[in-house]
Amino acid sequence: MPKEVLHTKDAPPPIAPYSHGTKAGGFIFVSGQGPTNPKTKETPEDIEGQTRQVMENVKAIVEAGGGTMDDIVQCQVILRNMNDYAKANAVYGSFFGKEPPARTCWEAGNPRGYGQLVEINAIAYVGDEKPKR
pLDDT category of residue 119 using cuts at 50, 70 and 90: very high
High-pLDDT (> 90) share of the chain, %: 83
Domain for residue 70, yes or no? yes
Per annotation, catalytic residue among 69, 73, 105, 126: 105
Whether pTM > 0.75 for this model: the answer is yes
pLDDT category of residue 8 using cuts at 50, 70 and 90: very high
- 105 in catalytic set: yes
Domain for residue 86, yes or no? yes
For 16-26, letters b (16+ CB in 10 Å) and e give eeebbbbbeee
- Number of domains making up the chain: 1
CATH number for the domain including 23? Answer: 3.30.1330.40
Displacement of CA 97 from its chain's centroid (Å): 16
Domain limits for position 53: 4-8+19-125
Domain for residue 132, yes or no? no
* 97-114 per-position pLDDT tens digit: 889 999 999 999 765 557
- CA-CA distance, 133 to 122, in Å (whole number)? 19
Q: State whether residue 54 is helix, strand or coil.
A: helix
Q: Parallel, antiparallel, or unpaired: how do β-strands 27-33 and 72-79 relate? A: unpaired
Beta carbons within 8 Å of 109's beta carbon, 6+ residues apart: 80
